[in-house]
Structure 1
Amino acid sequence: MNSPIKNVPSELRPLIIFLFYLALMIVALFIVGWIIDYLRKDHYQVNKYYYRTLNSNIGGGEEYYYRYWAWQPYKKKFYKQILSEKQGINRTYSRKAIQRRKLKKSPIPFRREIYGKAK
């Protein structure tokens, strides 16, 4: 039985093996992160309410936000509950995280944030 790696030119074999292990590590990161999030789901707490003021007047104003990783669905659910109960925000949104002072998308992969417009 022939291995699929045997049909690849010898110059590309190290690259393909590296990409395979990289993909395997990303999957393992998601699985381990999800397990840790599942085990900590009842122990999350909020120490500070984060908010920012947007530059534009259209759709601007202040918004409350919290950051989490893509593999933390229970933390996202907890923050959504905090935004609705403590701040009284009915509509919450999720997106890729924004940098602190520049108000543009963060280059960090898998970093997300949940936010809602302040009243």
Structure 2
Amino acid sequence: MIIFVIIVVFILVFGGGYYLDGKADYSNMKYRIRNSVTQIGGGEEYYVRYWIFQPKKKVAAEQLITGLGCRAAYREHAKKTNVNAKSKIPFLEEIYGVVR
């Protein structure tokens, strides 16, 4: 019975998120900046976080990142805010691009 409830909740969350993503307007999307002062590695990166059930936001974020002057948009599991480590939140992804 517990497994059935978990499956139903999982389907409702993903189905509801997908439905709401279809109705959302991402014309004024905000992005964040990660720089080398707080992160290990090279220069600044622009990034946008999204859930895996938001395909429309993913496409809009890719267009935003490439439109800001980045060579390419890369996708990966979301990182923690001030640490160069993966976040433990499941299904949270991010798209980032390295500033030229």
Where does residue 66 of structure 1 map in the other structure?
Answer: 48
Residue identity in the other structure for 1:21: V
The higher relative CO (CA closer than 8 Å, separation ≥ 6) is in 2
Partners of 2:84 and 2:3 lie apart in 1 by 33
Displacement after TM superposition at 1:88 (Å): 1.3
Q: Map 1:1-119 to 2 at 5 A.
A: 17-40=1-24, 43-44=25-26, 45-47=28-30, 49-53=31-35, 54-56=39-41, 60-85=42-67, 87-119=68-100
Displacement after TM superposition at 1:90 (Å): 2.9
Partners of 2:29 and 2:17 lie apart in 1 by 20
Displacement after TM superposition at 1:21 (Å): 1.1
Structure 1 runs not aligned, ≥5 long:
1-16
Query: 2:52·2:92 contact (CA, 8 Å) conserved in 1?
Result: yes
Secondary structure, in 3 states, of the residue corresponding to 1:116?
strand
Partners of 1:112 and 1:21 lie apart in 2 by 25
Structure number, greater radius of gyration: 1
Partners of 1:35 and 1:89 lie apart in 2 by 30
Secondary structure, in 3 states, of the residue corresponding to 1:51?
strand
Residue identity in the other structure for 1:105: K
Q: Percent identity?
A: 34
Partners of 1:33 and 1:46 lie apart in 2 by 17
TM-score scaled by length of structure 2: 0.88
Encode CA deviations 1:59-98: one digit per residue, 9 max, x unaligned: x22111000111000001111111111x112311111110
Across the two proteins, how many residue pairs are aligned to each other?
A: 96
Displacement after TM superposition at 1:46 (Å): 2.3
TM-score scaled by length of structure 1: 0.75
CA-atom RMSD in angstroms: 1.2
Partners of 1:114 and 1:46 lie apart in 2 by 13
